[in-house]
């Protein structure tokens, strides 16, 4: 098991788990680029968004729902936030386990690409 996110899921890597259920977990990004920078990931090792099957696609809705809960506890539900999924090399994906970034707590960059 050489996937760092699978190790976090298995409790074999240090990290504060902020949310977990049977399908999804969330924890702070180790290298935050905003005051709030959380990662929301499926427990299942799906390498990237491009590998998500149609049957698995409801997972994305669950991840968004978790994000919408976390922004309340993080106090940024009203100020605004951004969800981002990087996919593949040109999409900027570095960790090959599907994950959603939750960013907020400051005025985020207008640049998306």
Select which of 45, 97, 99, 101 is catalytic. Answer: 99
Nearer to ligand 5GP, 23 or 29 (CB): 29
Instruction: By CB under 5 A, tell whether 3 contacts Zn ion.
Output: yes
Rounded to whole angstroms, the Cα distance separating 109 from 58 reads: 29
Distances (CA, A) of 86 to 60, 73, 76, 78, 99: 13, 25, 22, 25, 8
Answer yes or no: 37 catalytic.
no
Q: Which partner from the list ligand 5GP, Zn ion, none does 31 bind, CB cut-off 5 to 8 Å by kind?
A: ligand 5GP
Catalytic positions are 99
């Amino acid at each position: 098991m050489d996937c760092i996110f699978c190790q976090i899921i298995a409790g074999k890597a240090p990290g504060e788990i902020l949310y977990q259920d049977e399908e999804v977990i969330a924890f702070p990004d180790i290298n935050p680029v905003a005051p709030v920078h959380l990662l929301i990931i499926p427990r299942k090792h799906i390498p990237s968004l491009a590998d998500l099957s149609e049957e698995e696609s409801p997972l994305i809705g669950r991840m968004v729902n978790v994000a919408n809960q976390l922004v309340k506890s993080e106090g940024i539900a009203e100020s605004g936030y951004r969800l981002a999924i990087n996919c593949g090399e040109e999409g900027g994906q570095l960790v090959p386990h599907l994950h959603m970034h939750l960013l907020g707590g400051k005025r985020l960059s207008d640049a998306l690409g």
